[in-house]
Amino acid sequence: MDAQRTPLVVANWKMHKTIPEALRFLDAFLPALEGLGAQGAPGVGRVVEVAIAPPFTALQAVGARLRSATASIGLAAQNVHPEPQGAYTGEVSPVMLSDLGCRYVIVGHSERRRHFGEDDAFINKKLLAALRHGLGPILCVGETLEERRAGRTQGVLERQLRGALAGCPPEGAERLVIAYEPVWAIGTGVAASPDDAQEGARFVRELLRELYGEAVAGRVRVQYGGSVQPGNAYELMVRPDVDGALVGGASLDPEQFAQIVAEAAKAVQAKG
């Protein structure tokens, strides 16, 4: 069952990189990825799927460069508005993202929940809209430190998942990627332990099983996110329910991000 899931490693650049900076990243990252393959890192770019989520302003330039690259790397957006068009100043619609060739869109990131007041109902609308327009939602869920200390981790994950997935049919659910991102691990340099990452991912999958059954739960990729680095990536991604990573800070550096992709490929081999 585990071997059927191709891990997905995504660079979430957040509010970083101008177009020239984004293109400079690709100038270094694409050869680094090929170089890792040449050095024998098994199946980089084949057994692992890679995607990059630049800011909106660089989506088109990055997409164009990725289309001309030899490796198949997905383009991802960091946010989307639920409506296809309309009077929503400053927003970007799922139709526009599809038009740019986006494969994925991140929804429910804790930074959007915290800084922009996005609640589960709004995230649900975004997720359903993304699916309607052919985008794969990467749904982020995760507890705060306070919630974890209060023993509420599973309750929070369950609320976020049930809220975001309301009205999502099984054929939509199997196109999802879920990122378990404990809020206390994001940008802190302190990743969850591999056991905690596995436990969060396992719980997500258990809830998917309850909602959609064994087949769908076995197909959905559950990433871990929060201070993933080249040095901890393998031990996190080798755990059975962890299918890749959503990487913030370390994804800004082409060598570090390429190394994380290589660690994901090693983890695939180990899981065999």
Note if 109 is an active site residue: yes
Catalytic residue (one of 109, 111, 118, 133): 109
Note if 181 is an active site residue: yes
Beta strands at 244-247 and 221-225: parallel, antiparallel or unpaired:
parallel
Is residue 107 involved in binding ligand 13P (CB under 6 A)?
A: no
Residues 6+ apart with CB under 8 A from 82: 94, 122, 125, 126, 128, 129
Q: E strand or H helix at 49, and its extent?
A: strand 49-53
Q: How far apart are CA 69 and CA 91, in angstroms?
A: 29
Is residue 12 involved in binding ligand 13P (CB under 6 A)?
A: yes
Query: What is the residue type of 189?
Result: G
Q: CB under 6 A: which stretch of 61-69, 169-177, 181-189, 258-266 binds ligand 13P?
A: 181-189
Q: How far is CA 201 from CA 85, 204, 251, in A?
A: 35, 5, 21
What minimum distance in Å lies between the beta carbon of 246 and ligand 13P?
Answer: 4
Which of 82, 137, 226, 244 is close enough to bind ligand 13P by CB under 6 A? 226
Is residue 78 involved in binding ligand 13P (CB under 6 A)?
A: no
Nearest CA to 247 out of 262, 159, 81, 6 is that of 262
What minimum distance in Å lies between the beta carbon of 109 and ligand 13P?
Answer: 6
Residue whose C-beta lies closest to ligand 13P? 248
What minimum distance in Å lies between the beta carbon of 112 and ligand 13P?
Answer: 10
